[in-house]
Structure 1
Amino acid sequence: MTLCHSYLLNSESLCMRIRLSFLLLSIFCVHTSANADEWKLVWQDEFDGKSLNYQQWETEVNAFGGGNQELQIFTDRPKNVRVQDGNLVLEAHQDNAGIAGTVREYSSGRVRSKHRGDWKYGRFEIRAKLPAGQGMWPAIWMLPTDEKYGTWASSGEIDIMEFKGQEPKTVLGTLHYGGQWPQNAYSGDQFELKQGSFTEEFHTFAIEWQEGEIRWYVDGELYQTQSKWHSAAAEYPAPFDQRFHLVMNLSVGGQFVGNPNDSTQFPAQFLVDYVRVYQKR
């Protein structure tokens, strides 16, 4: 092959790569533009201030254990819940903290938007970095604001993201529905990263919820769609036809994730960069 011929082939190859790059960019721009045309931002928190915005969030304080035999208490102390460096920080400690006469080995943080942000349908997008370690259980989820169909799980629960700290590449998305416990039902799926982990950098978790269908995304990639659920109290699409609010927390231990062990490091942080809620135009 002559030098001139090689140069011409390399030039043609370069031109082809450039044309392909512009084509992919144009497809991406059309896609994002279509999304912008479809969804309108109606509620957001970028956590850029110096403290939690209590017009949008409530800090929960309890030693209930969530019905899952969790080991933490949730407090409103700044060491457990704060806004810092552009993030919401939910931080778990092994500090034998106590509230209302109850002392637990672990403390952590939990916030919710109930009566401050409640929605029926929409796109819910959260960018977060998750904590590593056996027994770490961060979650982004939604609960019914009014419990029209009864107590859990007859009025529903939408788990946007749940994570086991000892499984750093995998997150889960789940629906809970049916009747009141123990006549409840659930269905869901999981997403596994091909490279890296959810504990090394921030990732985006989202659902798109419309009448009769809920879709789950990680970093913009659709990984499950659910449309087959039921209610013991009303006709389909109940219970997912009422207002829900957001909940974000970092739990420690319990039946779902197992308890911490000697390898678990404290304090552990669940960092949330932003929460954005969109509704159809």
Structure 2
Amino acid sequence: MINPVRSARISTRGKRGIRFGKVEVEAKLPAGDWIWPAIWMLPQDSVYGIWPASGEIDIMESRGNNYDYPEGGVNSFASALHWGPYSHTDAYLQTTASTSLRRTDFSKNFHKFGLVWTEDYIVTYLGNRIHQVMYVKFGQEGFWERGDFVKVNATLDANPWRDAKTKAAPFDQEFYLILNVAVGGMNGYFKDSSFKPWVDRSGTEMRDFWDDVDEWYPTWGPVESRGMTVRSVKMWQQGKCQR
């Protein structure tokens, strides 16, 4: 079956990246059931191995669903770091945080989603540093010790950061920026439930999603509210602004 919805992604891979610095994206998020906007970063080179060993930085991930959606709707977003020796040991739950708006949502006006990344910490924020969302400090121990991966039968040889020169690894390499709007998905971001029209890995996900079109399509509203409208993108490194 052809995908029932076409979505888009823009990235700076191979063009612009930073290793420590600052990112600010001013954008208005889309509204509508099962729409999934994100502003995030991946490493230019997977120095420490395949995902998530080389890391992932999520500045903003949201859902277009209404406020009453149990996992958070268009009035909220989360920031996270993904890291771990294997995909099934991704320890992002230790490095994630969220925020929400009252009496409005992120589709009504433009908002600034920011990141400050140094050799000592990563911070995400909404608007300015006063409204901090996530703070992760790179301490005396590295991410191998932070994740306590030996408890999941991971030997020391499996430590992808054992030869790293900083405790920030894997977040000590150059990362590029991604802006995208997805719909649906099968990785659990939209958890299976009685009101979700498809079941992950059922084999009929796209058909079941499309069969429910009369329910979710009216929530998308006019065309201009379905996408991520971006006013500006700025990246800084060592005092240099990259636009």
TM more than 0.5: yes
Contact 1:172 1:189 in 2 (8 A): yes
1:172 is the counterpart of 2:78: yes
2:123 maps to which residue? Answer: 215
Counterpart code for 2:75: K
Name 2:48's counterpart in structure 1: 149
Give CA-to-partner distance per residue, 1:108-147, whole Å, 9 cap, x none. Answer: 1101101100110111000000111110100000001100
The answer as to 2:118 corresponding to 1:205 is: no
Deviation at 1:168, TM superposition (A): 1.9
In the TM superposition, 1:64-79 aligns within 5 A as none
Q: Percent same amino acid among aligned pairs?
A: 33
Question: Could you say what secondary structure the match of 2:143 adopts?
Answer: coil
Structure 1 stretches of 5 or more lacking a match? 1-101
What does residue 220 of structure 2 align with?
265
> In 1, are the aligned partners of 2:62 and 2:76 still within 8 Å (CA)?
yes
Q: Find the counterpart in structure 1 of residue 143 from structure 2.
A: 230
Kindly state the Cα deviation for residue 257 of structure 1 after the two structures are TM-superposed: 2.9
TM-score (norm 1): 0.60
Q: Is the 8 A contact 1:137 1:257 kept in 2?
A: no
1:182 partnered with 2:88: yes
- More strand per residue: 1
**Structure 1 residue 170, shift from structure 2 partner:** 0.5
**8 Å Cα contact 1:179/1:185 also seen in 2:** no
Alpha-carbon contact 2:79-2:133 (below 8 Å) kept: no
Corresponding residue for residue 240 of structure 1: 171
2:28 corresponds, among 122, 129, 133, to 129
Letter in 2 for 1:170: S
* Distance (whole Å) between structure 2 residues aligned to residue 280 and residue 265 of structure 1: 41
Give the structure-2-normalised TM-score: 0.69
Matched residues, number: 180
Cross-structure match for 1:110 = 9
SS at match of 1:182: helix
CA distance in 2, matches of 1:224, 1:208: 10
Distance 1:117 1:224 in 2: 24
Letter in 2 for 1:169: N
Q: Matched residues in 2 for 1:156 and 1:119: separation?
A: 14
- Give 1:194 shift: 2.9
One-letter identity of the residue aligned with 2:232: Y
The answer to whether the 8 Å contact 1:145/1:244 transfers is yes
Question: CA contact under 8 A between 2:18 and 2:236: conserved in structure 1?
Answer: no
How far apart in 1 are the matches of 2:91 and 2:26?
28
Give the SS at the match of 2:233: strand
Larger Rg: 1
Structure 2 residue 183 is matched with structure 1 residue 252: yes
